[in-house]
Every structure is written in structure tokens, then in C-alpha cells.
Structure 1
Amino acid sequence: MSVAKAIATQEASWLHGLSGLFVKPARLQIAALCFRSGDSEPEVLLVSTRESGRMILPKGWPEKDRPACETAIIEACEEAGVTGKVDPRPIGSFRSFKGLSDGLRIRTKVLVFKIRFEKQLKDFPEKGQRDLVWLPLSEAIDAVDEPSLRRFLRKHRSSIT
């Protein structure tokens, strides 16, 4: 091996190792999979994002000193006014990106908790900031914008009851 090629290989290896320092791990978000009985299949609540209008599940950053399942019910209530019975065990997770107001996107892992719908409040913190829609599960799968969320809903279809 020539000296020039050996130096180039060593520099490439060093740069590759250095790039690992700048890759941040996925950050955790908590999502609420709110569902209720429908005519032929369960209905799922989707909300729009405030920035881009994409249809997603209500979600947010974990609440300090609270179990993750409580964060899910808080997000459902804040974003859609939905209250209900939350399953304390997550149904699963999927990978996503959180878009920030400055245009930056952060990789996230989204932990999902099922919430059986009980009622919808007339007034809630983010009323008027998001569109809310209840859709039959098969239509909700088609309506979400994130492929990873679409796959998640398909995979967990039988456990959304």
C-alpha cells in the first residue's frame, strides 16, 4: 500500500469515528392512541401539527416526575380535550422526527399508550390550534403522514379495541 493511500485511509477512519460524536440519540416522546367504538371498526383520533398541518397522534415530551402513561393522557387532553382510561403499559413504539419552529428536525422514539375515549371537553389548552378528526382505523392509517406511524397502526390494528 502506498504511503498516500495509507494516510488517506487513516484520515477517512478518523473522520468516520469523529462523525459519531455528532449523531445524537433519538429523544423520547409520548403519544396517545385515543380510540372509541365505531360502526364497523374502532375509530382513532388524529390531530394536526401546529406548524405543517400533518395528521398525527397527540404527543409530547415526557412530563418530569410522572409516569409515561400520565403524559399520554395529559397530551390527549391538552391537544384535543380528550379524557379517558389509559392503559398503563405502552402498546409499542415507532421512530419519528419532531419538527422545531426554527426548521430543525430531531429524531425521536415515540412510545404509544392506548386511551379508551370517555368524553371530549368543550374547552382545552390547544383548542383552535389544531384540526381534530375521528376516523375509522383503516381510514386513519391512510390519513397519517408519517410512514412509520402508518406501519405502527397496521401492525397493532388487532390490539386497538
Structure 2
Amino acid sequence: MGCEAAERQYAAIPVRVQDGQLQVMLITSRETRRWVVPKGWPEKKLNARGVAANEAFEEAGLVGTIHKKPLGTFHYYKIMPTGKRLPCAVDAYLFEVERELEDWPEKGQRERRWVSPSQAALMVAEGGLVSILLSLASVAVSDEG
């Protein structure tokens, strides 16, 4: 995915500390059931971090704190309903999960699963996202949970 213009999206990388171990939540995409992170398109009323946090709520039922700076950017092709491949650049923000809701807007449409960052890296398809997930070992997350 070289120099073609990419559509911008914003993602949350939901994390928690469980028994001293960092975990990442992955969710399934609605159409292809691949493992992904919550992400969405820019919205007029929200900044990039707001979009990412809102997607974590809508897609995974998560409430928490989103970090100010992106962990990184990854690229992928979104397959549109027409079959067209749309290149996307996704800014990924660390999202420290404070609450997991029992009910949320897309509950019936997705699965969610907590895994280690290395396990998450094996489950996702986007190479740039793999790198971001593997970099989590060096990220400081508060261990209050």
C-alpha cells in the first residue's frame, strides 16, 4: 500500500492488566468474522480519540480511558459492499479498559475475547497492527484492575 490516498480511521487498542499480565481485547468483524480491534470513521462531533473510544463502546461494550497520542498507524484494505477495495490508514490509540458492559450496541453482531498481546498478534491479519500489538510489552499501563 504505497502512495495511494488512504481513508483515515481511528482505532482503540483495548487493554487491561489481569493477574499482573497485560491483555488485549479483540473483537470479530461483522462481515468476515476476522479478529480486529474496534475502529471507525471520522465523525464531525468527535476528535480522533473520541471516535476510537466511542467505537470501543459500540463494538465491544468497553468503557475506559483513551491515551492522547496514537501508538502507531496501520494500513489495511476495507472491502466495500460493492467489492471495491478501499485503502485505509488507521491511527491506533491505547485504551485502558475500566468497565466491560454486559450489554452494548453491537453485542449480537460480534464476539469479543481477551488475549495476550502476542496471541493477539497471531490472530489479526494486518501486518502493521501486528507490530503495534507486539509493541505493547513496552507500554506502561496502570495495574489497578
Q: How does 1:96-135 map to 2 (within 5 A)?
A: 96-135=76-115
Q: Aligned match of 1:48 in 16, 24, 28?
A: 28
Identity of aligned residues (%): 37
* Structure 1 residues without counterparts, runs of 5 or longer: 1-22
* Structure 2 residues without counterparts, runs of 5 or longer: none
CA RMSD in angstroms comes to 1.6
In 1, Cα distance between equivalents of 2:62 and 2:140: 17
Aligned to 1:95: 75
Moved over 6 A (4+): none
Counterpart code for 2:9: Q
Q: Secondary structure at the match of 2:63?
A: strand
Counterpart code for 2:137: R
In 2, Cα distance between equivalents of 1:160 and 1:144: 22
Question: TM-score, structure 1 length as denominator?
Answer: 0.80
C-alpha contact 2:65 2:95 (8 A) present in aligned 1: yes
Q: How does 1:56-71 map to 2 (within 5 A)?
A: 56-71=36-51
1:61-104 C-alpha deviation (Å, 9 max, x unpaired): 01113211010110000001100011122121111111222222
Structure ranking higher in helix proportion: 1
Structure ranking higher in strand proportion: 2
Question: TM-score, structure 2 length as denominator?
Answer: 0.88
C-alpha contact 2:26 2:112 (8 A) present in aligned 1: yes
C-alpha contact 1:41 1:137 (8 A) present in aligned 2: no
C-alpha contact 2:73 2:128 (8 A) present in aligned 1: no
Please identify the structure whose Cα radius of gyration is greater: 1
In 2, Cα distance between equivalents of 1:50 and 1:149: 18
Cα distance, 1:137–1:24 mapped onto 2, change above 3 Å: closer
Q: Secondary structure at the match of 1:37?
A: strand
